[in-house]
Amino acid sequence: MINNIIAKTFIDMADMLETGSIKSRNTIALTGLGSELGEEVVIKAAQIATQNGLKIVYIGTQKCEYFECIYANCDADAHEVMDNLINDGKIQGAVTMHYPFPIGMATVGRIEAPATGLPFYIASTTGTTSSNRVEAMVKNAINGLAVAKICGNKNPSLGILNLDGAKQCEGILRALNSAGYEINFAVSKRADKGSILRGNDLLQGSADVLVCDSLTGNILMKTLSAYATGGNVEAVGWGYGPAVGEGAKLSILIVSRASGTAVIANALQYAYELAGGDFEKTIAGEYKKAKAAGLDEALKTLKEKSANPNEQVVKPPKEVVTAEIMGIDVMDIEEAVQSLWKFNIYAESGMGCTGPILMVSEANLVKAKEILVKNSYIQN
């Protein structure tokens, strides 16, 4: 152990004398096959990364004198080479295309906010952490926070994109926060504030970590990275990011077949940051803290709730409803209506400018809110 430390110290000193800075000896693999823009674009990205001090192993059909190249003429062969390098401990991260991840793993992308040019994370952008949408978003939040912390942001802010399941996701995350899993919730720049973020917040980068489902995140990454090129080339950002989930090991990052040189070079830098940041330990630590705050119990309740059909109750007599209750997730709105009918409170569902609303009479407003809070449809 002591000998290894001494050896690494001398290597770092040699790097400092040669380049003026100390660089980690971590090695990142890059596969070049499958790009719609040609393998030359990928090779150029590897050259840029090498110039920036990264140690690269390139897997593809082309050769370059600036880094090690291993021949492979198809995706299957390239991934076999990459997997062997991982298993042999010769690389500490990889950037590739088309890599299959099991359910439970999803990628955390990094992109620039158009309004500020500052980076933020989108969790997630490919793969899926769960077949249950809300459970997936909760896990995506934990994954996104873990990745931001690995890359140096010790207290990242977290916001949830305003889409189906957002309110349920927020409710679970706030419960975890209250129970000890600390989350720095972002605040929307819109007048109504809150941690449920709109399209305006997306453009302004109102949160360090933006939570959404994978399909939405994938579209956001493609749009934000390629809007300036008309969609032909993804020219902005760091790609779709590492596969993250409970038990995640070495970081394998995804780029698109339409990713340009700049994005691929950035993805290599992203992989390098993750390789040097205790990837496995940090992710395990985040899940340990979340579980200690009741993650498993919250997700179990969520599954039980979604598995049970709505209880059919008698609809009370119709009355004039002018009071609005906001903050109920669209997936829960009809269930929430029936929860009030059970107490003989007439209610109707509707859609306001900021999302679904539940309407009751002014006389029933206070009682209705108490029932909805008790049943976890809204926050107190």
User: Is residue 196 within 8 Å of residue 109, measured between CB atoms?
Assistant: no
CB 223 within 8 A of CB 202: no
How sure is the predictor about 102, in pLDDT bands with cuts at 50, 70 and 90? confident
State residue 308's pLDDT score. 53
Mean pLDDT calculated for residue range 272-301: 95
Q: Is the pLDDT of residue 216 over 60?
A: yes
Asked if 195 and 188 count as a contact pair (C-beta separation under 8 A), the reply is: yes
Please check whether residues 293 and 324 belong to one and the same domain.
Answer: no
| This prediction's pTM | 0.83
For position 362, what pLDDT does the model report?
A: 94
User: What is the overall mean pLDDT for the chain?
Assistant: 90
Which of residues 271, 303, 335 is at a domain's end? 303
Radius of gyration of the chain (CA): 24
Higher-confidence residue of 8 and 158: namely 158
The reply to whether 152 and 22 lie within a common domain is no
The predicted structure's pLDDT at residue 351: 66
Structure confidence by residue, pLDDT tens digits, 51-76: 999 999 999 999 999 999 999 999 88
3 state DSSP class of 286: helix
Residue 140 within any structural domain of the chain: yes
- Of the three residues 283, 303, 323, the one that is the final residue of a domain is 303
Catalytic position from the list 64, 69, 151, 353: 353
* Residue 91 to residue 98: CA distance in whole angstroms: 19
Q: Which of 263, 243, 256, 8 is nearest to 129 (CA)?
A: 243
The whole domain housing 336 covers 309-374
For residues 318 and 286, state if they share a domain: no
Question: So what's the pLDDT on residue 24?
Answer: 54
| pLDDT at position 306 | 61
Instruction: Report the alpha-carbon angle 334-337-339, nearest 5.
Output: 110
Same domain, 80 and 151: no
The DSSP string of 90-137 is --SEEEESS----TTEEEEEEEE-TTT--EEEEEEEEEES-SSHHHHH
pLDDT value of residue 155: 97
User: Do 290 and 364 fall into the same domain?
Assistant: no
Cβ neighbours for 160, distance < 8 A, ≥ 6 positions apart: 137, 141, 166, 169, 170, 173, 195, 196, 197, 210, 211, 212
Is 353 catalytic? The answer is: yes
pLDDT over 80 (residue 304): no
Q: What is the pLDDT of residue 334?
A: 84
What's the total number of domains in the chain? 3
- Residue 101: what pLDDT? 84
The CATH number of residue 364's host domain is 3.30.70
pLDDT of residue 239: 97
The alpha carbon of 230 is separated from its chain's Cα centroid by a whole number of angstroms, namely: 25
Same domain, 299 and 169: yes
User: What does the pLDDT look like over 17-35, one tens digit per residue?
Assistant: 555 544 457 999 999 999 9
